[in-house]
Amino acid sequence: MRITEHPILRYQKGPKVKFIYDGQEVEGYEGEPIAAALHAAGIKTLSHSHIENRPRGFFCAIGTCSSCLMTVDGVPNVRICVEKLKAGMCVETQQGKGVLR
């Protein structure tokens, strides 16, 4: 899913890093939004609606729609479309509204 050639743009990426998504090792570039790394890895379901438990994915990319809330390093409700990826991060699908520890 990564764009390797583009007629106008050159992408400046940070170093390639590994992080954990629901127990599984995934690669991304440091500094890009976590959602970009997950999308590039083909992971589309990010959260679930509270009542019907319907899958929810990426939607607005600017941190306003709440469709991408996940638990990151134990902190629930992180907007992963604007949260930058760091090496070794632990990104988990959140159950319900999340619990503050």
Tell whether residue 36 is a contact of another protein (CB under 8 A): yes
Query: Which CB atom, from 11 or from 95, has the smaller least distance to another protein?
Result: 11
**Chain position carrying tokens 């998504």:** 21
What is the per-residue binding string for another protein in 55-74, x denoting contact by CB under 8 A? xxxxxxxxxxx---------
**Chain position carrying tokens 């600017």:** 62
DSSP for 11-56?
Answer: -----EEEEEETTEEEEEETTSBHHHHHHHTT----EE-TTT--EE
Contact positions toward another protein, by CB under 8 A? 1-3, 5-9, 11, 13, 32-33, 36, 39-40, 44-46, 49, 54-65, 81-82
